Amino acid sequence: MPTTIPLLMGVVNVTPDSFSDGGRWLEPDAAIEHGRALLADGADILDIGGESTRPGATRPLVEEELGRVIPVITALAADGARVSVDTMRAEVAEAAVAAGAAIVNDVSGGLADPRMLDAVADLGATYVAMHWRAHADHMRDFAVYDGPGGVVAAVRDELAGRVDAMRAAGIERDRIVLDPGLGFAKRAEHNWELLRDLGPLHALGYPLLVGASRKSFLGRLLASGGIPRPVDEREHASSALTVLLAQQGVWGLRVHDVRVAKDALLVLARLELARLETDREGATDG
């Protein structure tokens, strides 16, 4: 079965405390230039977020979040970029779509704000719903998956429940994308179990977005002397997952280094072309 080359969603963290690059793009002008650089590197979507969801993070005021993301979304959307807003708040989603965002990427899947699903239904935007159990400051307390089928079955069933809620709110099925939520209320072993086989999640019938880039479970895998590999030295491992996830047919990949991910996908696409050429030659010879 041919591999479907996924879309690349470039991360623009307009925050002081994100785990990968907190503070680097906090000023609007810096974030806008970073977004433009990601586009030049091959990003299909820019994901603009004003709230860190790293483990232990505390939430900004809604006014702070709006002040961080709206100027950036306005500028990048005006450039013609396909923009996603990374938010758990309906108020921010509404303002972001008004500013030009086409996608609402909600790590809580509508659980953090009771207005979110109704707001998205009215907005007409694509909605990315992630598997989520609790806010970042205490989500580790919910990283328990003892039921039949373990973490894979739990994530599948809980996402299916969110789909039911989305559909009931009036969000059309062709606007829904699901995300397994690597690292959110999940330990390293849970992430690996999910990555091993996304089949049960694909079986729900919706496109999948996966965000594995630079996450802590990769740092632990690459640890030296018990010390996790630093965040900015995990890109080779992230690139390996880019290829493996593309081969599992995901719709999109949320990445920090778009150029590295794009290079990996170009190699994969060329190999796919070579395979098709070989198949055609075999058919002709036969």
pLDDT in tens, 231-243: 889 999 999 999 9
Decide if 254 is catalytic: yes
Angle at 21 between CA 20 and CA 27, to 5 degrees: 155
The pLDDT of residue 92: 98
pLDDT above 80 (res 18): no
Q: Which of 68, 133, 175, 215 is labelled catalytic?
A: 215
Is 215 among the residues known to form the active site? yes
Q: Distance between CA atoms of 144 and 140, rounded to whole angstroms?
A: 9
CB atoms within 10 A of CB 283: 8
pLDDT of residue 281: 76
Residue 246 has pLDDT above 50, yes or no: yes
- Is the Cβ–Cβ distance between 181 and 130 less than 8 Å? yes
Any domain includes 2 = no
pLDDT the model gives residue 221: 95
| Total domains present in the chain | 1
39, two tokens: 């586009």
Residue among 180, 14, 212, 12 nearest 107 (CA) = 180
Position 94 in a domain: yes
pTM as predicted:
0.92
H or E element in which residue 128 lies:
strand 126-130
Instruction: Give the pLDDT band (50/70/90) at residue 140.
Output: confident
pLDDT-derived band at 19, boundaries 50, 70, 90: low
pLDDT at residue 1, rounded to an integer: 42
The answer to whether position 160 is within a domain reads: yes
CA dihedral over 109, 115, 116, 122, signed as positive or negative: positive
**Residue 123 pLDDT greater than 90, yes or no:** yes
Is the separation of the CB atoms in 136 and 86 below 8 Å?
Answer: no
pLDDT, tens only, 66-107: 999 999 999 999 999 999 999 999 999 999 999 999 999 999
> What is the domain range of residue 197?
7-285
CATH number, domain of 204, equals: 3.20.20.20
Answer yes or no: are the C-beta atoms of 14 and 25 closer than 8 Å: yes
β-bridge pairing 103-106 and 45-49 = unpaired
If residue 151 lies in a helix (H) or strand (E), which one and from where to where?
helix 150-169
Portion of the chain with pLDDT greater than 90, in percent: 82
Share of the chain above pLDDT 70, in %: 95
Q: Identify the active-site residue in 133, 229, 234, 254.
A: 254
Is 1 contained in some domain? no
